[in-house]
Structure 1
């Protein structure tokens, strides 16, 4: 399996109003580094997974909808907890919608998202895509 990873950072505000989240129950900010890996079984005719510029551009588009936003007010998280894991899933799904509209994107086997909030803690989500 081949992979290509791009990363960008973004900042959000949110609250996690459950006892399990301790001091994070209140409104607070977070800066994430989003790493998105695109997986494919065989390289394309240019011997790449997909164009690195296109991959980075799609990630930037997806993160623009989240960057500097209060996720407590974001429609995608209405009635949901915006945990790091849930945010990783949201990003994977949003990236998939865009990337699978491209010829190379339709050949992908999966997308992996890792969100790093600090050097010692991160969470992720893996999205398997239908074989084409």
Structure 2
């Protein structure tokens, strides 16, 4: 299995209005480090998983609606808790949409919320 990882970060604001989240119930900001890992069992005809520039551009496009956004007001999070897990899912689905013509490329999104906590979401196999 081959993999390519590109990264970036995104600054968001949100609240998690449920007692479960303790002090994070109130509005707060977060800077999330984002890693997108693309995998392939075999390299393509160019001997790569993906073009690195293409991978970085896809990640940029996936993150652009989130930059400095208040996720409480973001239409894709309406009626949902904007947890780090939910944010990883959102980014993973946007990347999957960008790779709809390449279902053999696996996608895992890892978000680091702080130096002690990170979350990963792996997009299920696509037909």
TM-score range, shorter chain: over 0.9
- TM-score, structure 2 length as denominator? 0.95
Runs of 4+ with deviation above 2 angstroms: 128-131
What is the rounded CA distance, in whole Å, between the counterparts of 1:68 and 1:120 in structure 2? 23
Alignment of 1:1-132 (within 5 A): 1-101=1-101, 105-108=102-105, 110-130=106-126
| Partners of 1:12 and 1:31 within 8 A in 2 | yes
What is the rounded CA distance, in whole Å, between the counterparts of 1:130 and 1:73 in structure 2? 30
Cα offset, 1:100, TM superposition: 2.4
Q: Name the count of aligned residue pairs.
A: 127
Segments of structure 2 that go 5 or more residues without pairing to the other structure are: none
Cα offset, 1:61, TM superposition: 0.8
Segments of structure 1 that go 5 or more residues without pairing to the other structure are: none
| Partners of 1:55 and 1:99 within 8 A in 2 | no
Residue deviations 1:99-130 (CA, integer Å, cap 9, x gap): 224xxx3431x210100011111111011333
DSSP-derived class of the 1:88 partner: helix
| Partners of 1:7 and 1:36 within 8 A in 2 | yes
Residue deviations 1:20-79 (CA, integer Å, cap 9, x gap): 111100000000010010111100122110101000001001101101000000000000
- TM-score, structure 1 length as denominator? 0.92
